[in-house]
């Protein structure tokens, strides 16, 4: 997904961080530093702000962990997740998505934030009793942050909880998941623009820097999340009914793993392709990409293809019947540009990100509606 940073994997699920989180962490740190300004030394204020930013981020990660486990229990495996400031956007394949479990998943996010807020409230009371007033103030802010997340999620804009709930209601009423998603994401963007304009108006009318900035930035965060949800809905709609078999190309170049790179170098370079199948006895043993062949000249004659290829057990592969949208999202999550299509270990073809994006461009899927 554009505008995201890959963090790694959580329980085998690719996790990406939306760039708005970086701005949020800086703003949280600045807010806390200004709040303690004049009360403590500068280093203490900066440390408190940094600690609040990290703990707020960890509390949101804990919320999304609860959502992941709930989705699994409800039979909706999460294939990837993007962390936004006020909510996560789990990627659940359309064939696994169902209305009522989606509603339950949205509720779990709210309950998780309330539970985390309750933990901070109990910790705040304990710190006050112990006389640790400085730490108590930091924890109180974290309590407020989690309550703010709950309140913000009551806006009817996906991927916020109430936006998902509204999308489920429209899905059941219209019997069209794609149309419901487009309606709610359009509503979400409208609300985001209203918040942004309201924040600017507050800045101009009352000169309340903190309130105006907070409202405007919240609108920016929401617009970014709603736009991402809209793009996902558009792409899924455009690729609905399209399978890996429809998108795959059978024009691939097979090579043998026993050969040295020196023997096949010219063959690879002159083929004009970016990826090559390593095949033995009709079975896919691995693939070699152009980045794999960037080896010193002195090693060309001694390096075998088996040493530089990505073995089949580490590859992301697909059956011919796999929905094409799943492959595009898989490539985004794992940062790969192609997925081999196999049946019983035998290669049938390959789906590339370039081909999928050309298809989407041809159908004008990213045109504003």
**130-161 pLDDT per residue, tens:** 888 778 888 888 898 899 899 989 988 888 88
d(CA 122, CA 322) in angstroms, rounded, equals 48
Neighbour order of strands in the sheet with 4-10: 4-10, 13-18, 80-83, 88-91
For 314-341, the pLDDT digits (tens) are 888 999 999 999 999 888 888 888 899 9
Q: Which two tokens stand for residue 246?
A: 């429809």
HSE (CB half, 13 Å, CA atoms) of 265?
A: 15
d(CA 80, CA 57) in angstroms, rounded, equals 18
Residue 145 neighbours by CB distance under 10 Å: 22
More confident position, 241 or 294: 241
Computed over every residue of the chain, the mean pLDDT equals 84
Contact by Cβ (8 Å): 16, 31: no
Contact by Cβ (8 Å): 137, 93: no
Give me the residue label for tokens 């913000």: 152
- Compute the residue count for the chain: 369
User: Under 8 Å CB-to-CB from 292, ≥6 apart: which residues?
Assistant: 308, 309, 310
pLDDT band at 368; cut points 50, 70, 90: very low
Lowest-confidence pick of 40-54, 107-121, 214-228: 40-54
> Which strand (E) or helix (H) includes residue 112?
helix 99-130
Tell me the fold of 244-362: CBS-domain (3.10.580)
Q: Which two tokens stand for residue 219?
A: 């609108």
pLDDT band at 25; cut points 50, 70, 90: confident
The answer to whether residue 120 scores a pLDDT higher than 90 is yes
User: Under 8 Å CB-to-CB from 76, ≥6 apart: which residues?
Assistant: 92, 96, 97, 98, 101, 102, 105
Q: Determine the average pLDDT of the residues in 223-240.
A: 84
Domains of the chain, by residue range, sit at 4-238, 244-362
HSE (CB half, 13 Å, CA atoms) of 185?
A: 21
For 155-164, the pLDDT digits (tens) are 888 888 898 8
Give pLDDT, residue 369. 46
More confident position, 24 or 66: 66
**Whole-number percent of the chain with pLDDT over 70:** 94
The answer to whether residue 97 scores a pLDDT higher than 50 is yes
More confident position, 116 or 44: 116
pLDDT band at 272; cut points 50, 70, 90: low
Three-state DSSP at 75 gives: coil
C-alpha pair distances (Å), 59 with each of 5, 86, 214, 345: 19, 11, 20, 43
Model confidence pTM above 0.85: no
Query: Looking at 166-318, which runs of residues are DSSP E strands?
Result: 253-255, 275-280, 283-289, 310-311
Contact by Cβ (8 Å): 40, 134: yes
d(CA 156, CA 341) in angstroms, rounded, equals 40
For 200-220, the pLDDT digits (tens) are 888 888 766 667 777 888 888
């Amino acid at each position: 997904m554009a505008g995201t940073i890959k963090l790694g994997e959580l329980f085998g699920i690719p996790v990406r961080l939306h760039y708005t989180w970086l701005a949020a962490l800086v703003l949280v740190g600045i807010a806390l530093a200004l709040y303690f300004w004049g009360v403590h030394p500068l280093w203490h204020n900066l440390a408190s702000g940094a600690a609040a930013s990290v703990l707020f981020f960890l509390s949101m990660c804990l919320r999304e962990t609860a959502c992941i486990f709930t989705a699994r229990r409800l039979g909706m495996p999460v294939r990837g997740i993007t962390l936004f400031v006020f909510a996560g956007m789990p990627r659940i394949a359309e064939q696994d998505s169902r209305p009522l479990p989606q509603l339950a998943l949205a509720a779990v996010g709210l309950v998780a934030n309330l539970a985390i807020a309750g933990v901070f409230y109990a910790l705040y009371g304990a710190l006050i009793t112990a006389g640790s007033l400085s730490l108590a103030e930091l924890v109180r802010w974290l309590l407020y942050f989690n309550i703010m997340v709950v309140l913000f999620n009551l806006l009817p804009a996906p991927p916020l909880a109430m936006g998902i709930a509204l999308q489920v209601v429209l899905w059941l009423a219209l019997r069209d998941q794609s149309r419901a998603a487009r309606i709610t994401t359009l509503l979400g963007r409208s609300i985001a623009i209203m918040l942004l304009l309201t924040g600017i108006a507050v800045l101009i009318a009352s000169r309340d820097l903190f309130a105006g900035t907070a409202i405007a930035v919240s609108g920016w965060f929401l617009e970014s999340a709603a736009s991402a949800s809209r793009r996902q809905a558009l792409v899924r709609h455009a690729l609905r009914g399209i399978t890996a078999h429809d998108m795959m190309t059978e024009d691939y170049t097979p090579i043998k793993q026993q050969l040295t790179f020196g023997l096949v170098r010219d063959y690879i370079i002159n083929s004009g392709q970016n990826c090559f199948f390593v095949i033995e006895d009709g079975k896919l043993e691995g693939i070699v990409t152009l980045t794999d062949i960037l080896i010193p000249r002195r090693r060309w004659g001694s390096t075998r293809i088996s040493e530089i290829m990505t073995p089949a057990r580490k590859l992301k592969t697909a059956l011919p019947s796999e929905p094409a949208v799943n492959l595009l999202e898989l490539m985004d999550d794992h940062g790969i540009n192609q997925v081999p299509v196999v049946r019983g270990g035998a290669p049938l073809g390959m789906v590339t990100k370039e081909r999928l994006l050309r298809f989407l461009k041809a159908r004008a899927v990213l045109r504003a509606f």
